[in-house]
Structure 1
Amino acid sequence: MDHIRYVDALAAKYGAMGFPPYDWSRYDDAPFAPLAKPLAQCTVSVLTSGGVSRCAMPPFNPDARNDFRLDTIERDAPSDDFQIHDSYYDHADADHDLNCIFPIDRLREMARDGEIGGVAPRLWSGFMGRIYKRQAVLDDKAPALARELKRDEVDLFIAVPA
């Protein structure tokens, strides 16, 4: 079986639409950061980039470029109160079970069962637009999110790309 040539497919798709080649991030020297305490004592939050929003919120624009929108989602939000708007991937499975790309129920179950210490008060959805202004994420948006995670005393942050 051949591997999916994801980067090549994206370059061809967006190149045909007139976009410049994407400058992919590489972090070959990113340090490993072990947890400072057992998982069963950790507060966990999650971010999905899958175009997921609460039904009462405006949908994400599935064709957006450089969309830095970041929605907060309460930890007790019902998992049947979400919509998915993204044209970048087939989200049929996530339409059936949101936990495929936003594991809100699984985190609550893990907290209930003592596998994690708890679910953070806020979970996140965003950064779903085709972001070509990567430096804005690195210099501004990601540090702002990190400050919010620190405010929520998050020990473990899970990024779920879509």
Structure 2
Amino acid sequence: METLQDVFNRSSLKEEDHIQYAIYLPNKEKDMISYLQDTINMINSMIEPTIKDYLWQKDRFHLSIVQEKSQDPLYPFLYGISRFGDCINDEWFIVYLLHQISITIPEAIISISDNDGDVLLIEAALELPSWLDPSNSQNRVYLHRGQLHIIP
């Protein structure tokens, strides 16, 4: 199991366009790690027909189990980071996959960000409540059951 720092240390992502995504599931299982590994296997089986012939510019969609020891959440969750280089279509394809995952796993809460910030917040900018701006939006926007959710 990795920490987020381990994931970031594997490559020089700060210089490249990338998307990062986290899938949070309720911590209700006695063996959360096994539950998350089973969930990864189920997700991979679900998306395989969709991604099998897809040509990725840089990195494919990939999930790992991560557990932070000093930050929220203190329980393990699924995390991925993918470089997409010049191919913005890879980024949007990953957003599509995450949308489908949020429908298939209704208890999943998904956050998505890229080099510019929160992907969903940026795309929904014209429809956001007036009180929400970049200074107060961190950790407020999630994908859940196929819909955008904003925590007030």
Length-normalised TM-score, structure 1: 0.25
Considering only CA atoms, is the larger Rg found in Structure 1 or Structure 2? 1
Greater relative contact order, per chain length (Cα 8 Å cut-off, separation 6+): 1
Return the structure number with greater helix share. Answer: 2
